[in-house]
């Protein structure tokens, strides 16, 4: 199948905001006296805020009211951390890769479970860099459900089989496969056995045989 579009996850792929998510969950867990480490954090990659909270609170019982307050607390901490973002937060490698893909005629999109996607993209000056954005505001089911990538592909006007999905999350790779996309792994997702294409840095994608 000819590849015509590339759909990028945001947190942990385009930006290192995955570490801000970790810090914000860690701060909540510490306040509640609940153990939380990087390994557990990896299970939250690609997963919606409320589903992530359920994983953080595994083995503990809280009311729905408490849980909503915890999710809001985490998001407030996370948003404080997002204030550190500037256009310089986008690596040169990432900028050059996006430019080169566009130069070669590919359509590019964001497919993220995050409801903070547009805030983040505007902070780093990338809001208009993509041909389409699909995010946590557009979907009912977060990854590993393929919904967000299907929305992104539709907005690009492409079939899933003509699109690559770049992901740092196991849940995201699973979603890409379920939706019929070609999965490409970076970061934590490179530990995923079911992926053939793995990146050390974003520009590695330019070398793969599925691109022209
Ligand atoms: C994903 C992150 O991109 O967005 C998850 O990988 C996060 O860790 C999810 O929980 C939802 O993000 P937000 O910004 O809506 O809380
Ligand atoms: Mg991610």
Give how far the C-alpha of residue 192 lies from the chain's centroid of Cα atoms, to the nearest Å. Answer: 16
Q: What residue ranges define each of the domains in the chain, with the CATH number in brackets?
A: 5-15+88-207 (3.40.50.1000), 18-84 (1.10.150.240)
Q: What DSSP element (H or E) covers 42? A: helix 38-42
**Atom of ligand 1 minimally distant from the CA of 21:** 8
Quote the tokens at residue 199. Answer: 């990146």
- Does the N-terminal peptide bond of residue 104 adopt cis geometry, omega within 30 degrees of 0? no
Q: For residue 11, how far is its CA from the centre of ligand 1 (angstroms)? A: 7
Residue 113 CB less than 6 A away from ligand 1: yes
**Atom of ligand 1 minimally distant from the CA of 10:** 3
pLDDT in tens, 91-127: 999 999 999 999 999 999 999 999 999 999 999 999 9
Residue 143 CB less than 6 A away from ligand 1: no
Q: What is the mean pLDDT of the chain?
A: 97
- d(CA 173, CA 44) in angstroms, rounded, equals 13
> Which segments of the chain are extended strands (E)?
5-8, 107-111, 132-134, 163-167, 182-186, 197-199
Verify whether residue 11 is a known catalytic residue: yes
Quote the tokens at residue 79. Answer: 């948003």
pTM of the predicted model, to two decimals? 0.97
Quote the tokens at residue 152. Answer: 């992104």
pLDDT in tens, 21-73: 999 999 999 999 999 999 999 999 999 999 999 999 999 999 999 999 999 99
Name, in order, each residue with C-beta under 8 angstroms of 61's C-beta and a sequence gap of 6 or more.
none
pLDDT at 1: 83
Closest Cα to atom 16 of ligand 1 = 49
């Amino acid at each position: 199948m000819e590849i015509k579009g590339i759909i990028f996850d945001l947190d942990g792929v385009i930006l290192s905001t995955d570490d801000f998510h970790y810090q914000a969950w860690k701060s909540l867990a510490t306040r509640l006296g609940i153990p939380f480490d990087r390994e557990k954090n990896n299970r939250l990659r690609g997963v919606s805020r409320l589903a992530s909270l359920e994983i953080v609170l595994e083995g503990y019982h809280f009311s729905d009211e408490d849980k909503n307050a915890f999710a809001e607390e985490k998001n407030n901490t996370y948003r404080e951390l997002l204030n550190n973002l500037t256009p310089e937060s986008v690596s040169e490698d990432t900028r050059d890769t996006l430019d080169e893909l566009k130069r070669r005629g590919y359509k590019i999109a964001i497919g993220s479970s995050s409801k903070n996607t547009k805030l983040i993209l505007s902070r780093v000056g990338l809001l208009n860099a993509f041909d389409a954005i699909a995010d946590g505001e557009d979907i009912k089911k977060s990854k590993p459900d393929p919904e967000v990538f299907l929305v992104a592909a539709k907005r690009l006007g492409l079939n899933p089989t003509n699109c690559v999905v770049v992901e740092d999350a196991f849940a995201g790779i699973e979603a890409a496969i379920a939706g019929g996309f070609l999965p490409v792994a970076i970061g934590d997702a490179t530990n995923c056995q079911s992926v053939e294409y793995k990146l050390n840095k974003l520009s590695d994608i330019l070398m793969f045989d599925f691109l022209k």
